[in-house]
A and B are shown apart, each in its own frame.
Chain A
Amino acid sequence: MSDTHAQTVSFVRDTMLPEAEPPVGNRGAILWMRENLFSGWLNILMTLVSLYVIWWALSHTMPWVFNGIWNAGSLSECREIRNATIGADASAACWAVLGDRWQQLMFGFYPRELYWRPILALVIFFVAIAPVLFSRVPRGMLAFTALSPFAMFWLLWGGSLWFPVSIALGFVLGWAAWRALAPIAGTLIAMIVAVALPLIYWFYTAGPLARELEQVIALSIEYVPSQDFGGFMLSFIIGIAGIILSLPLGILLALGRQSDLFIINKISVGFIEIIRGVPLIVWLFTASLLLNYFLPPGTNFDLMLRVIIMVTLFAAAYIAEVVRGGLASLPKGQYEAADALGLDYWKSMRLIILPQALKIAIPGIVNTFIGLFKDTTLVVFIGLLDPIGLSNAIRASAEWNGIYWELFVFIGLLFFICCFSMSRYSLYLEKKLQRGHH
């Protein structure tokens, strides 16, 4: 700018302007509507189409929902009430079926006076995962977490307390072997022994030991056979057991897939790809049709246990991929720093790598759990009574023959509430991780 212009351009403000409101069309609800609903012809068209869709959907469902009849003993009674009150051509849901059969949808044929047991097991589960999900919970709670699976098992199935105790003893045995041998014989040998010893114990000693102990001190609660399990309880048991049991295997598979050792790597990759390449329903049929072929002649165990085994293997492959993602996202420097400090492979994994990788993987694990929880509905095809299986059973009864939508809506809503809240939680965790990472 040349000097001559300096005078004309020079300007000093002596009064400050007050803050002004935007023009009427640019504020409040009108502004919001204009920006969000009617900002252009395409936008207006979309708004109108959406409004029509919403009106159409609501006008078809809402009368049905709100005309619903809650007090009736059967579908025909429902229809009679409807005809008497609002007319034969009105649509009305028959919610009475839920009042009549909700216990079955939730618990299957579990003895009614023992409902407190699964409920208590669920409470134990929530307490047990608290230290895993929230870092503020004292670490001592982890011991409770370690014991909770056995407690939940005992509460659900009942029977002798000594059975879960003798199973738990196997883990103690393995841990003791590891502690005793690792300093003397090296990690490799110690690990082999720590795996083999409990296996041998479970195969040969655990059962008789539990029976002996039961004869000495009887500690039993009423036994509930697996056939009586059903409804959402069954979905929860299969889903939760699948995820918890699959975690150790999934972590090992993820480490195997990251490993430089050719055979270990190929075994892990092969396992993961084979499991993931075949639909769960095929695996479930394998469990119900074929698992007995693969086990020693004469073994015959519970279908539900077989399903849990299959679901565990299935979930392990998915968990492995999630954990692998967590491992891969750690900077190489973490591995190098652990090496440079002289930590061996297992120590660096346990102390440095896995705590970080698992924390990153938790949202993915929650998502895997959501998927698995939804997939538990597939067990209906091999004869277990999950909520959908029970809806078929209810429909087959004389009172409720022909009832579809009410049951579907109820089941769908419960699944939605569970899955949606879990997915929100995993989203929250993801955001927190993104913020918390430096």
Chain B
Amino acid sequence: MTDTATNPADRAIDRSHMRVSDEVAIEISNMNKWYGSFHVLRDIDLTVYRGERIVICGPSGSGKSTLIRCINRLEEHQSGRIVVDGTELSSDLKNIDKIRSEVGMCFQHFNLFPHLTILENCTLAPIWVRKTPKKEAEEIAMHFLKKVKIPEQANKYPGQLSGGQQQRVAIARSLCMKPRIMLFDEPTSALDPEMIKEVLDTMIELAEEGMTMLCVTHEMGFARQVANRVIFMDQGQIVEQNEPEAFFKAPKSDRTKLFLSQILGH
């Protein structure tokens, strides 16, 4: 697989307006996590500024998914600090609820709720968490469904949609909560090649609008095109991070070189 093959659109993206501000969105310092005695995340330090698009890559089992799942507390970290939007992620339930409603997340297997229609999937959280009136929630949902280009599917059930459509619904569902940060956990790895593009297009659009994004993915074309920073993780640690241009052209660490050669060239 080459990087051009997965490049979602061979159009030049104007990155000038995708400006990164100085405001800190996420600050992770000295964070550690263990599964039993297995040390999955080791001394993670990461500062994400508002508007940044970060792609996290690395071999399987390197802890990249665990890292972003810690950010909305799907996994609990055992030491160090995570501050999201100025709110420290501690065991305080109120903070957890606050952060979860501000951080959207998309999963590898979409995790749509199969017993609810697409529209209901999208309005569920706004109604029950944000306490938005139903009518307003539906308007918001339709707005975002239009944005991901599937408004006509609103009354279908997830099982009736293709994988790519489901993932776009999952993105719309997260957007309905008006999150300030979006987390993507391998959003395209469960999809057939022809569906990857439609999802990546949606993500690119999101990036162009200035959404802060953390994305675990192996789509290097996407990283090159959209990301302003690429992070390479191995064995639970951040091994290398750089701007995409430099990261792909001149990786510094041997591990990164090996990984990139395996994933890009044959």
* Inter-subunit contact A343/B105 (CB<8 Å): no
In which size bucket is the chain A interface? 20 to 34
Cβ distance A155 to chain B, nearest Cβ, rounded Å: 34
Chain B contacts with A in 54-109, Cβ cutoff 8 A: 72-74, 97, 100-101, 103-105, 107, 109
Q: Does A298 contact B (CB under 8 A)?
A: no
Complex CA gap A347/B73 in Å reads 18
B119 at the A interface (CB under 8 A): no
Q: Contact at B114–A356, with CB atoms within 8 Å?
A: yes
Residues in B with CB closer than 8 Å to A143 are none
Which of B72, B97, B111 has the most CB atoms of chain A within a 10 A radius of its CB?
Answer: B111
Decide yes or no whether B191 CB sits under 8 A from chain A: no
A340 to B97, CA, bound (A): 9
Task: Give A336's nearest chain B residue, CB to CB.
Answer: B74
| A352 adjacent to B113 (CB under 8 Å) | yes
Known contacts A343-B125, A438-B158; 10 further A-B pairs (Cβ under 8 A) = A333-B111, A337-B113, A339-B73, A339-B100, A341-B173, A341-B177, A342-B101, A351-B128, A355-B115, A356-B113
Chain B, Cβ-Cβ closest to A183: B131
Chain B, Cβ-Cβ closest to A436: B159
Checking B109, B115, B124 against A359 with a beta-carbon cut-off of 8 angstroms, the contacting residue is: B115
What 9 A-B pairs have minimum CB-CB distances, sorted nearest first?
A: A438-B159, A337-B111, A333-B111, A342-B100, A341-B125, A342-B101, A340-B105, A342-B129, A355-B115
Is A26 at the interface (CB under 8 A from chain B)?
no
B159 x A333 contact (CB < 8 A): no
CB of B127, distance to nearest CB on chain A (Å): 9
Tell me if B177 and A336 are in contact (CB < 8 A). Answer: no
- 12 A-B residue pairs with Cβ-Cβ distance under 8 Å, sorted by A, are A333-B107, A334-B113, A338-B113, A339-B73, A341-B101, A341-B173, A341-B174, A342-B101, A342-B125, A342-B177, A355-B115, A437-B159
Q: Inside 8 A of A331's CB, which chain B residues have their CB?
A: 109, 111
A341 to B96, CA, bound (A): 11
Q: Is A302 an interface residue (CB 8 A)?
A: no
Q: A333-B109, A356-B114, A438-B114 are known contacts. Are A341 and B129 too (CB-CB below 8 A)?
A: yes
- What CA separation (Å) do A436 and B115 show in the bound complex? 11
A284 to chain B, nearest CB (A): 38
CB B102 to nearest CB in A, in angstroms, measures 8
Q: Which of A319-377 contact B (CB under 8 A)?
A: 331, 333-334, 336-344, 347, 351-352, 355-356, 359
Residues of B within 8 A of A356 (CB): 113-115
Min CB distance B230 to A, Å, is 24
A436–B129 Cα gap in the complex (Å)?
A: 30
Chain A residues near B (Cβ < 8 Å): 331, 333-334, 336-344, 347, 351-352, 355-356, 359, 436-438
| Complex Cα gap A94–B101 (Å) | 74
Residue from the set B101, B115, B158, B173 with the largest chain A CB neighbour count within 10 Å? B115
Q: Which residues of A contact B173 (CB under 8 A)?
A: 341
In the complex, A437→B113 CA distance in Å?
A: 12
B interface residue numbers (CB < 8 A to A): 72-74, 97, 100-101, 103-105, 107, 109-115, 124-125, 128-129, 158-159, 173-174, 177
For the residues of A in contact with B, the DSSP-based class is helix
Name the residue among B105, B109, B113, B129 with the largest chain A CB count within 10 angstroms. Answer: B113
Which residues of chain A are within 8 angstroms of B125 by Cβ–Cβ distance?
341-343
B114 touches A340 (CB 8 A): no
| B108 and chain A: residue at smallest CB distance | A333
> How far is B131's CA from A342's CA once the two chains are assembled, in angstroms?
12
A313 to B177 CA separation, bound complex (whole angstroms): 42
Q: Which B residues touch A341, using CB under 8 A?
A: 100-101, 124-125, 129, 173-174, 177
Give the residue among B72, B114, B173 with the most A Cβ atoms within 10 A. Answer: B114
CB-nearest residue of chain A to B158: A438
Task: Tell me, rounded to whole Å, the shortest Cβ–Cβ distance linking A10 to chain B.
Answer: 41
A212 CB, min distance to chain B CBs, angstroms: 40
Cα–Cα distance between A352 and B125 once the two chains are bound (Å):
11
Alpha-carbon gap, A35 to B1, bound state (A)? 54
By beta carbon, the residue of chain B nearest A353 is B113
A342–B112 Cα distance when bound, in Å, is: 15
Tell me how far the C-beta of A128 lies from the nearest C-beta in chain B, rounded to whole angstroms: 22
B111 lies within 8 A of A343 (CB): no
Contacts of B124 in A (CB 8 A): 341, 343, 351-352
B177 touches A337 (CB 8 A): no
Query: Cβ of A340 and Cβ of B128 under 8 Å apart?
Result: no
Residues of A within 8 A of B114 (CB): 356, 437-438
Rounded to whole Å, the gap between the CB of B82 and the closest CB of chain A is 15
Contacts of A355 in B (CB 8 A): 115
CA A359 – CA B107 in complex, angstroms?
A: 24
Shortest beta-carbon distance from A330 to chain B in Å: 10
A347 / chain B contacts, CB cutoff of 8 Å: 128-129
How far, in angstroms, from A340 to B105 measured CA to CA in the complex? 6
Roughly how many angstroms separate A334 CA and B109 CA in the complex, as a whole number?
A: 10
Name the CB-closest residue of A to B170: A337
How distant is A215 from chain B, measured CB to nearest CB, in Å?
Answer: 44
Which one of A334, A342, A359 contacts B97 once the chains associate, using CB atoms below 8 Å? A342
Give Cα distance in the complex from A438 to B113, angstroms. Answer: 11
Contact, CB under 8 Å: B101 / A336? no
Bound-complex Cα distance A336 to B69 (A): 10
Residue of B nearest to A438 (CB): B159
Q: Is the CB–CB distance between B72 and A340 below 8 Å?
A: yes
CA separation between A352 and B114, bound complex, in Å?
9
**A438 surroundings in chain B (CB, below 8 A):** 114, 158-159
The answer to whether A337 touches B129, judged by C-beta atoms less than 8 angstroms apart, is: no
A336 vs chain B, min Cβ distance (A): 5
In the complex, A438 Cα to B73 Cα: how many Å?
28
Contact at B129–A343, with CB atoms within 8 Å? yes
Chain A's nearest CB lies how many Å from the CB of B103?
A: 8
Please, which residues of chain B bring their CB within 8 A of the CB of A343?
124-125, 128-129
User: Which residue of the partner chain B has the closest CB to A352?
Assistant: B113
C-alpha gap A336/B128 in the complex (Å):
16
Identify A336's interface contact among B107, B112, B115, B174, CB under 8 A: B107
**Pair B97/A344 contact, Cβ less than 8 Å:** yes
